[in-house]
Amino acid sequence: MSWVPQNLAETCAVQTTITTCQPPAFLFLQLVTQLFGYSLDSQYSSGQSGYNFGTGYNEYFGGTSDYNSDEQYNQQNTQEYDFIVVGAGSAGCVLANRLTEIPQWRVLLLEAGDEEPEAADVPSFAPLLQRSNIDWGFMTQPNPYSCLARQNGQCAWARGKVMGGSSTINYMIYLRGNPRDYDEWAEYGNPGWSYQDVLPYFIKSEDNHDVPNVAPNVHGTGGYLSVERFQYRDQNVIAMLKALEEAGLPIYDQNSGHQIGASILQTTSRNGKRESTNVAFIRPIRNKRKNLVIETNAYATRVLINPETKVAYGVEYVKNGKIVQAMARKEVIVSCGTILSPKILMLSGVGPAHHLQNFGIQVLKDLPVGYNLMDHPTLDNVLFQISNQTSTLATPEEEAQDAIYYREEQAGPLSSTGPLQLNAFVQTKYEIEPERPDIQYSIDCGNVQDIVTDPILASTAKVTPLAYYDCFIIRSILLNEISRGVIKLNNTDPVFGYPIIYANTFSQQIDVAKMVEGIKQSLNLLKTPALQKLGVRLVTTPMPACNQFTFGTDEYWACLVRSYTGTMYHYSGTCKMGPKRDPTAVVDPQLRVYGIKNLRVIDASIMPRIVRGNTNGPTMMIAEKGSDFIKATWLKKKLQLGLSFKDMIRNLFFNK
């Protein structure tokens, strides 16, 4: 496996002076590719898919639009398993681990992408992973409310196409959300999903290296997932943490149940290296548990469902140019994420009837699949410039030395995420519930001259490691978005074309108002002694798309929100969990798809309402809890068929 970074020659086709489009940036990417471009898991790689994914729907299916016919295609192989997990991401890797704890169960894990490259190990390289060959590279549809200054009015929505999924390309932040988030899930008619119900599953995953320096009663040790704080912090990070405290934000472990305040974040990392769900949950058992079969470069096209009995019995996927059918004796679990789980359900005949009928897809169950799309939107370009004395911008030679040093020692500036280690949660005047934030601050970073010169290109060609910066980007993040979007099939090529993303971000004016309030509150940091001592100042050069408004007015900030919209990549909700009486629900509280037997969805798409915090940790919790639902279902049946209670307990808790 070879990691391929973003094609800067294509991105930087226009004449520009920004640093990431200059020859040193190209040379640095070449060095990174040479040092970190391959995978520690390359010995497991099972070949590249040779299928042309641009082929149209009718051509692929032999000229027929009857997608759910029983016609036999030119199958390369038919295999049988107990469970098939579609998607090896934040949820899928956890599920594959927990299900194979039962040695009698044979599990197939399918991943459309390749093995995880070593480039993903390096915390500071997180921006380099987007728009590379391990990112699906989704784009939203244009709308009149957001992303207005971006090319074609579209925002990039990154998703991991790789073992570990988006946990392999994200920024490693481990936050769980607010306890009330989960209590609300239960109040919506989902018993077993209150905070007290889900907390044991968060604890179960963790091998937390900060205990007892964090709240010990809510953290775990000895789990598969390493959680810790980065050791490397430059002086700007220390000063900004002090500034957050001086602004009146207490310093908390923000996974302790208290959110409003600030923290040095806990991250999914181990000794200065990223710990994706692939690293945490799959590497320790791969090639050791013989009941786990992993297929990479395996592009799932549909779940096989008997149209008469409405029972899911397998999955069809493409690998090496061949169509393969894998059969599931017990269940199929779709864990493709908020964008792709709706797609595969709809291609399988489960979704909005009117939409599926437009494609000639036989409707097996009419459900609101793809609706209730939520995110945590943000914006670029609220810039705090740092003085030259504390700027961490480096020469090309220094960057190369740091890369080589990290390769040898897993230490130095590249072993952390710079100021993104910092976090704050606040309330605006629009949030009335005590102890519940509606705005999060993420302290991003960059090159101020690049951003002022060409803000859109600077965010697109973002290949500078997080260690090197001369400005803070204070990102206000909306935690309780009212606007909702929808995912639909691609009219041109529903099978191999990317799904259509109607994000509808900021379609509700109240969402913009909250963001403006969040921006204004963030400016109070400039009054703190810590930042004044550091010489930090607000960059008051208006961004090009908003220079018709007076800088610093509510109108200017609202323009910035709608023009330079960004995302925290926390998409959720499109296969909503809810009680049977809920007409907007797709899965029940045990994550079973309504109306289809032996089919579950287990990933962030089941969230009835997005949690107020980063979603990677909650997605792993959902998978931990979902795996117990599956075990309870099938081990109970085993017990009735003669498996002793002693054996069942041994299988549940002691087989690793």
The secondary structure of 512-531 as a DSSP string is HHHHHHHHHHHGGGGGSHHH
Return the bridge partners of 527, or none.
none
The H or E element that residue 82 is part of is strand 75-86
Q: What is the DSSP secondary-structure string of 272-332? A: TEE--HIIIIITTTTTTSTTEEEESS-EEEEEEE-TTT-BEEEEEEEETTEEEEEEEEEEE
d(CA 442, CA 422): 7
Residue with tokens 């909702």: 484
- Asked if 466 contacts 417 with a C-beta cutoff of 8 angstroms, the reply is yes
CB-CB contact of 148 with 562 (8 Å):
yes
Cis peptide bond prior to 434, omega within 30° of 0: no
- The letter for the amino acid at 489 is L
Q: Residue 54, Cβ neighbours under 10 Å: how many?
A: 10
Report the amino acid identity of residue 349: G
In the three-class reduction of DSSP (H, G, I as helix; E, B as strand; rest coil), residue 498 is classed as: coil
Q: Helices (H) and strands (E) in the chain — how many of each?
A: 19, 25
Pairing of strands 299-305, 225-227: unpaired
How many residues does this entry show for the chain?
Answer: 656
Q: Token digits for 648? A: 């069942």
611 belongs to an annotated ligand binding site: no
Token code pair at residue 537: 């100042």
Phi, psi of 378 (to 5 degrees): -145, -165
Interatomic CA distance for residues 196 and 217, integer angstroms: 12
Query: Checking DSSP bridges between strand 565-567 and strand 377-379, what pairing results, if any?
Result: antiparallel
Phi, psi of 241 (to 5 degrees): -60, -40
Strand locations in 522-642, DSSP E? 537-538, 565-567, 599-601
Looking at the DSSP assignment, which residues form a beta bridge with residue 316? 302, 325
Task: Tell me the catalytic residues.
Answer: 570
Using the 8-state DSSP alphabet, how is residue 279 labeled?
A: I
Inter-residue contact 547 to 400 (CB < 8 Å): no
β-strand pairing of 350-351 with 107-110: unpaired
Enter the tokens of residue 541. Answer: 């050069």
d(CA 596, CA 573): 19
Residue 313 to residues 109, 331, 384, 598, Cα–Cα distance (Å): 15, 7, 55, 8
Closest CA to 98 of 267, 274, 270, 223: 223
Q: What are phi and psi of 242, to 5 degrees?
A: -65, -40
Amino acid at the residue 623: A
94: part of which helix (H) or strand (E)?
Answer: helix 92-99
Q: How far apart are the first and last CA of the chain?
A: 28
- Residue 526 has φ and ψ, to the nearest 5°, of -65, -20
Here the tokens at position 214 are: 């964090």
> Cα separations (Å) of 91 from 281, 607, 626, 644?
10, 13, 9, 30
Phi/psi for 304 (5° steps) reads -85, 120
Q: Which residues are annotated as a binding site for FAD?
A: 162
Annotated binding site: 162
